[in-house]
Structure 1
Amino acid sequence: MNPPKTALRTIIDLHRPLTLTALLCAAVLLVSVPGILLDGRTIGGDPAWLKPTKFAISIAVYNLTFAWLLSLLTRWRRTGWWLGTVVAAMVTGELVAITLQAARGRSSHFNYATAFDGAVYSLMAFMIVTVWVATFAIAAILLVQRLGERSVTVAVRASLAIALAGMAVAFFMTSPTAEQMVTLQEGGPSDVIGAHTVGMPDGGPGLPLVGWSTVAGDLRVAHFVGLHGLQVIILFAFGLIALADRYPRLAEDALRTRLVLVASGSYTGLLALLTWQALRGQSVIAPDALTLGVAAALAAATAAGTWWALRRRVREHV
């Protein structure tokens, strides 16, 4: 008789390359978190070990989510496994590159100061594009499968679309800024090509922990919100199921599906709003009247959608 699986073994067996990469992220955190406290060096105004910490957490959450999603496949399982393995390999390479540059005291992104720095960033860019393509392919496979209840299936499909859009926001960061473009057009060298801040150079005042700019637009806000919409929408769907015992109306899968659709639409609107705000050079903590007006309209639309979802009755078939 085989011994019962531990919880850790059960998680690892969902998709070993993805889950083992998540364990690697945990190992990186054992170095990067003390590094933030003990290493006084900064890169672009942030602690040198802040970026490896943020990426290790994000990659771990991303990988565990996809390991679970791929375990649900009933068709194209082998293709899904290989796509997940590609994702695991690429994000592992990205994490290693970011950690290496942090240890060297060098920026990992947009850095062309030396031939080595440029090669590291170019390799990272290739890996990021590969992850996006592989994620798109996984989303296409999941799109044609029923994953249990319809509300959960809709949540998975919508959240994957949101995550792909959030990942794509990063491509805005790779374009040269106006100042960098002038330097390049004049034939001069540029140590940095691209930026996550819009309206001011990178490295200015930022929010604690995340480092998002408090004085200019920052595309990392929309990138983060969109990328982790994958977890937010799926957890929302499961939250509705968990509340069904307390609120009997939520036992109706059609009602939960409508609420998931409303939440997905609202979250997509938030992603669009944050991207638009950043591209206008406006800090996420300093919205102007126009941004607040659009946010109010989005909130009103969400409230109206929720009312529609709760009031609508499924037509009974006689």
Structure 2
Amino acid sequence: MTTTRPVQPTLPTLPSSPHRLHRPLVAVSIALAVLTLAGIGGALFDDRDLLGHPIWMKPLKFMISFALYCATLAWMLSLQTKARRLGWWMGTVVAAGVAAEMVLIVGQVVLRGRQLHFNMSTPADKLIHDIMAGTVYVIWIAVLVVAIQLLFDKPGDRALRWAIRFALGTTLGGMLLGNLMFRATPAQQAAMDATGREDFFGSHSVGVEDGGPGMPITGWSTEGGDLRIGHFLGVHALQLIPLLALGLILLARRYAVLRPEGPRTALVAIGASAYGGLIWLVTWQAERGESLVHPGRSTLFAFGSLLGATIVASLAVLHRARRTTLD
């Protein structure tokens, strides 16, 4: 009687783009990378402040964030196999929208020296505010179309496909979290009631006024809640969740348990769910006026529960995959 050894799954490979990267998105990403160098120079040599922070810091953060966003979306669009022309147009809309946003940000903050967000104190400030808000919604709709396309497309292996879908869905939700900032603070409401004018409407912070003590580089409040944290994490899910899938592909070269698509797909789903839970957690923390660096017991308990559930679920997937590999 002879026994046959189970066939070992083949090594997964990093995805190769069947098509060229989206040129307008790549062009905007490169332009922003170059502009980032100018922004760093500005941050070093321009001593002007705005709301207690170096005047170049906000544009610099947007330059880096938008450059990464455009580069990642260009890569995702290169993996498309269906309706590529529609995808190209949606990517072009995003590229044009990002370019317009950056022009307005640099113009309003660096050239005019004016507060960027929530500023409606003059007709020019209100116009810039409204154009930026409208442009963001146009970008959001274009990314939504791409997300729907890739929901029915099959780029890469199953784990990577789901990572891209989770990433696009999470980034769309993260962009919408920005709407939580557009609520009048008590001080703003009192000023509006007293004057009948709406000079400023909205705030990044909860429980404290904007412009107070903040974390280095990010500027996130160290005294109260900050709604930018969940927004930031949500937007950059576009990079982080696919990186998890690509990292698992690299690890599969060493660990046979990760070579089948099933375990890697399950781990991607667990990782994306945990990341979504983290976004909810930091947003909930901010809504309660609690600083990221001073978490209370409820926040710590919720984080510990999320971390524990993620570890247990991941170990269960790996244990099951190991048993299947050995059988």
- TM-score by length of structure 2 reads 0.90
SS at 2:88 equivalent: helix
Deviations 1:45-74 (A, max 9, x none): 111001111000000000000001111111
CA RMSD of aligned residues (A): 1.7
Output aligned runs, 1:67-106, within 5 Å: 67-101=74-108, 102-106=110-114
Query: 1:184: how far off?
Result: 2.6
Runs of 5+ in structure 2 lacking a partner? 1-16
Query: 1:311: how far off?
Result: 2.1
Q: Which of 22, 36, 42 does residue 35 from structure 1 map onto?
A: 42
Q: Which has the higher contact order (CA 8 A, sep 6+)?
A: 2
Q: Which of 130, 139, 142 does residue 122 from structure 1 map onto?
A: 130
2:240 counterpart residue number: 232
2:192 counterpart residue number: 184
Residue 210 in structure 1 maps to residue 218 in structure 2 = yes
Q: Following TM superposition, where does structure 1 have runs of at least 4 consecutive aligned residues deviating by more than 6 angstroms?
A: none
Which amino acid is 2:202 matched to?
Answer: G
Q: Which of 245, 248, 254 does residue 246 from structure 1 map onto?
A: 254
Once residues 69 and 280 of structure 2 are traced to their aligned partners in structure 1, the CA distance between those partners, rounded to angstroms, is: 21
Runs of 5+ in structure 1 lacking a partner? 1-9
Matched-pair contact (CA < 8 Å) for 1:150–1:253: yes
Once residues 46 and 168 of structure 1 are traced to their aligned partners in structure 2, the CA distance between those partners, rounded to angstroms, is: 26
Query: 1:268: how far off?
Result: 0.6
SS at 1:169 equivalent: helix
Task: Select the structure of larger CA radius of gyration.
Answer: 2
Against the structure 1 CA distance between its residues 142 and 229, is the aligned structure 2 distance closer, same or farther, given a 3 Å change threshold?
A: same
Q: Which of 40, 44, 54 does residue 47 from structure 1 map onto?
A: 54
- TM-score by length of structure 1 reads 0.92
Matched-pair contact (CA < 8 Å) for 1:142–1:157: yes
1:305 counterpart residue number: 313
Matched-pair contact (CA < 8 Å) for 2:154–2:161: yes
Matched-pair contact (CA < 8 Å) for 1:28–1:52: no
Which amino acid is 2:79 matched to?
Answer: L
How many residues matched? 306
Matched-pair contact (CA < 8 Å) for 1:198–1:216: yes
2:159 counterpart residue number: 151
Query: 1:315: how far off?
Result: 7.8
